[in-house]
Amino acid sequence: METRAALELTKEQLSFLPSKGDHPMMDVPFMVGIDGRQYRGMRLSLVMAEISGLMDPGLENATRLMRLVFPFHGFSVTLGVLGLIKHVDRDKGLASVTFVDPGGEHLPQMRHILNSYIAGDLVALGGVIGVGSTLPSPATRAAIAAATRNWTLPRMLGSAGMALATVLLLGTAGSLAYSRIFTQVIATPGRAGQDGMTLGAIASGQLDYVNLEASEGEVAFSIRTITGDLLSIAMPCTCAATLQGTAVGATVQSGDAVMTVSQPGAPLVVNTQVTSDELLQLAFSDHVNIRFADGETIRARADTAGLRGQTGNALVPVRLIPEVALPDSRNGALGALTIIRPLPFDLGTTSPASPTSGN
């Protein structure tokens, strides 16, 4: 009951937070998926959200079913919310979203997350959310000491217990420090697939035609632009083709991945999309851990050619090459990605930030 009472904060207790009306806006880490694109959440309340990313002016005053993803350490929580998009600023990459039905099925989970964040039970750990740690209060520790003051054996056991608790606390603090300093979770999961090349949209428009069985030189897919032009992309080889999360009739933006082609028997790699900040962290990383749904974790390294992608608000596609060959059963499997930074004693010799002499 005390925990529940601590979470039910009054309006006066929330008055110190910036708010929209009676609902406080909080900078809890979250991501928003709209029409297949991912945006970074800036601030969130029970009735609205502020997001940033590559904005489509056509979203102004549009109502969309969106996915709110809260990335916790090791897992994520996804809520489906119907939102009205307003105040789209394409130059700054900003927009606000008002929830059409703030009292819908998502409300209990969102209220629990926000209340826990305000109460300090949940804390921001970089780009993810972690559970806050607590220690016994001074009054509790004093009561324990008074109850065992006159007993030698209980005092010895208490000292041993305190020493064990100290070791556990130091271990927990060391683990949290290591996670904060030497690791970073990539918000977008990776998907295993055959190694090949990605064919992207060369203009914004609607996907008009797709032929996954096209031979070399034949039309692989066509895009009808907003001006009415029909742009066709030829199949570069006679190989296997796979659509990348789209279908005929879908709207695509210039640069979006549409199709992946690969030679028969090509090894499996893991493809993902990262932000400019994550791209920089990959460039300085030691390796990337990929954890699949069955618990197996493998190591991979980012393809250095992919690290030369553009920066900005748009997500950049990156190819991760596993250190050990993946079996065919992993084809299409999703994996959680964690960047592992190099240890301090390796930085002097392997860090890509080491200066070089000469011009």
Q: How confident is the model at residue 335 (pLDDT cuts 50, 70, 90)?
A: very high
Q: Give the chain's length.
A: 359
Q: Which of 96-110, 288-302, 306-320 has the lowest mean pLDDT?
A: 306-320
Q: How many angstroms separate the CA atoms of 51 and 86, rounded?
A: 11
- φ, ψ (nearest 5 deg) of residue 316: -110, 125
Which amino acid is located at 34 in the chain? Answer: I
Q: Rounded distance, CA 320 to CA 272, Å?
A: 8
CA distances for 217 relative to 151, 236, 248, 352, angstroms = 88, 6, 20, 41
Residue 148 CB contacts under 8 Å (≥ 6 apart), including other chains = 154, 155, 158
DSSP 8-state class, residue 173: H
- Section 170-183 average pLDDT: 68
The model's confidence at residue 353, banded by pLDDT at 50, 70 and 90, is: very low
Mean pLDDT of 46-69: 90
> For the segment 127-170, what is each residue's pLDDT rounded down to a tens digit?
777 776 544 445 555 665 666 555 566 666 767 777 787 787 77
CATH, domain range 196-266: 2.40.50.100
CB 337 within 8 A of CB 272: yes
Report which of 294, 287, 257, 254 is spatially closest to residue 272, judged by C-alpha positions.
Answer: 257
- Contacts of residue 81, defined as CB under 8 A and 6 or more positions apart, other chains included, come to 65, 66, 67, 68, 99, 104, 106
Would you state the pLDDT for residue 350? Answer: 43
Q: How confident is the model at residue 64 (pLDDT cuts 50, 70, 90)?
A: very high
According to CATH, the topology of domain 177-193+267-352 is Elongation Factor Tu (Ef-tu); domain 3 (2.40.30)
How far apart CA 209 and CA 215 sit, in angstroms, is 15
User: Amino acid identity of 342?
Assistant: P
* CA geometry: angle 248, 254, 259, nearest 5 deg: 45
User: Per-residue pLDDT tens for 261-282?
Assistant: 888 778 888 988 888 888 888 8
Per-residue pLDDT, 126: 67
Dihedrals phi, psi of 314, to nearest 5 degrees: -70, 145
pLDDT-derived band of residue 310, with 50, 70 and 90 as boundaries?
A: low
Pick the CATH number of 2-131 from 3.40.1190.10, 1.10.1240.10, 2.30.30.830, 2.40.10.220: 2.40.10.220
Could you tell me the two tokens for 16? 């110190």
CA distance 161 to 155: 10
> What is each CA distance from 135 to 119, 130, 229, 254, 290, in whole angstroms?
15, 16, 66, 52, 33
- Work out the burial of residue 187: count CB atoms within 10 Å of its CB; fewer than 13 is exposed, 13-18 middle, 19 or more buried: buried
pLDDT of residue 277: 82
Tally the C-alpha atoms within 13 A of residue 230's C-alpha that lie toward its C-beta.
Answer: 6
- Look at 23 and 190; give whichever has higher pLDDT: 190
Neighbours of 173 (CB within 10 A): 11
Joined tokens for residue 178: 């290591």
188: tokens are 């977008």
Residue ranges of domains in the chain: 2-131, 177-193+267-352, 196-266
Q: What is the mean pLDDT of residues 212-229?
A: 89
Report DSSP state, residue 192: E
Contacts of 186 by beta carbon, 8 Å cutoff, 6+ apart: 272, 274, 278, 288, 337, 338, 339
26 DSSP 8-state letter = B
Residue 68: the pLDDT is 92
Query: Residue 298: its pLDDT value, please?
Result: 93
Confidence of residue 313 (pLDDT cuts 50, 70, 90): low
Same fold, 2-131 and 196-266: no
Band of residue 201 on the pLDDT scale cut at 50, 70, 90 = confident
CB proximity list for 194: less than 8 A, separation 6 or greater: 240, 242, 260, 262, 266, 267, 268, 269, 331
The yes-or-no verdict on residue 352 having pLDDT over 50 is no
222 near 233, Cβ under 8 Å? yes
Look up residue 238 and give its two tokens. 């006679």
Looking at mean pLDDT, say which of 12-16, 55-59, 220-224, 262-266 comes out highest. Answer: 220-224
Task: Please give the pLDDT value at position 345.
Answer: 56
Render pLDDT for 89-121 as a digit per residue (tens, 0 to 9): 888 889 999 999 888 888 888 888 888 888 877
